[in-house]
Amino acid sequence: MATLQPFQNEADSITIGELTIENRLDQLELYGSLAISRDQTGLQLALELKGLIDEAVRHLQSVADLPAVIELKPTDSVDNPFK
């Protein structure tokens, strides 16, 4: 099972199925798709996603001064080397 410590850095990224989860200090970014089938493989994917969400919830609940809303930092961009 892939591991990611939510909100701990700007570098970690994991993939569950075709769903990518990118770690940021201010948010988790999820994109792609995830099909959870009614079989052992689907169960494993569901448990992996649940573990990540549970860890994110634990972290958020542990922050004593969690703000109501934050202003998200824009994602760094790089120049297209093919231009």
Closest CA to 28 of 46, 54, 49, 10: 10
Q: What pLDDT band is residue 75 in, cutting at 50, 70 and 90?
A: low
Pull the structure tokens for residue 70.
């934050």
Residue that is written with structure tokens 């201010």 in the block: 26
- Tens-place pLDDT, residues 7-35: 999 999 999 999 999 999 999 999 999 99
- Tens-place pLDDT, residues 38-72: 999 999 999 999 999 999 999 999 999 999 999 87
pLDDT at position 59 is: 96
Residue 80 has pLDDT above 80, yes or no: no
